[in-house]
């Protein structure tokens, strides 16, 4: 996997554009309940955090699926679910440590971010640039820089 969805939580305004475009692309309707990316909104503390699949290297959802309906794409790194195999047991929903796995009650199957086959639409439509699809090395470097900046800022305070 070369690229990851990288979220800058400070830029998210909670508009829901990412949720709407995701559900429209995948389900043909605008519904945050059918989106593969979800925004956790805390109105009391004033923050919005988009949450999507972490693409775990040792994904618990893959390991726990009793019918092997969940697989990892070797090219994109996306973890995909085969609807035709999914029995709707929701073990993957319980196993995900990040709360990224979703369940479609109308279809009776689990669903999650599939990276839109390497072209994530949530990234294209995020007008604040809070969501990016970047090389993993750049994501790691960005995090390191943020930590280093906080350390220097703390020492200079």
The mean pLDDT of the chain is 93
- Which residues have C-beta within 8 Å of that of residue 62, sequence separation ≥ 6? 70, 71, 72, 79
pLDDT band at 76 (very low <50, low <70, confident <90, very high): confident
* Per-residue pLDDT tens over the stretch 81-111: 999 999 999 999 999 999 999 999 999 999 9
On whether the CB atoms of residues 100 and 115 are closer than 8 A, the answer is: no
The CATH number fitting domain 3-52+113-156, selected from 3.40.50.720, 3.50.50.60, 3.30.70.20, 2.70.150.10: 3.30.70.20
Residues of the chain with CATH 3.30.70.20: 3-52+113-156, 56-98
* Per-residue pLDDT tens over the stretch 34-68: 999 999 999 999 899 999 999 898 999 999 999 99
Please give the backbone phi and psi of residue 56, each rounded to the nearest 5 degrees, phi first: -55, 140
pLDDT band at 152 (very low <50, low <70, confident <90, very high): confident
Q: Quick one: average pLDDT of 121-143?
A: 92
CATH topology of domain 56-98: Alpha-Beta Plaits (3.30.70)
d(CA 58, CA 91): 16
């Amino acid at each position: 996997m070369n690229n990851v969805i990288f979220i800058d939580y400070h830029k998210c305004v909670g508009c829901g554009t990412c949720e709407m475009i995701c559900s429209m692309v995948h389900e043909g309707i605008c519904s945050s309940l059918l989106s593969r990316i979800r925004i956790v909104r805390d109105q009391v503390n004033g923050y919005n955090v988009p949450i999507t699949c972490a693409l775990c290297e040792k994904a618990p959802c893959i390991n726990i699926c009793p019918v092997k309906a969940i697989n990892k794409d070797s090219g994109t790194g996306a973890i995909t679910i085969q609807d035709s195999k999914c029995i709707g047991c929701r073990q993957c929903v319980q196993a995900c440590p990040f709360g990224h796995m979703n369940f479609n009650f109308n279809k009776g199957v689990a669903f999650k971010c599939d990276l839109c086959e390497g072209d994530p639409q949530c990234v294209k439509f995020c007008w604040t640039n809070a969501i990016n699809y970047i090389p993993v090395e750049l994501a790691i470097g960005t995090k390191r820089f943020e930590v280093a900046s906080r350390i220097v800022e703390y020492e200079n305070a």
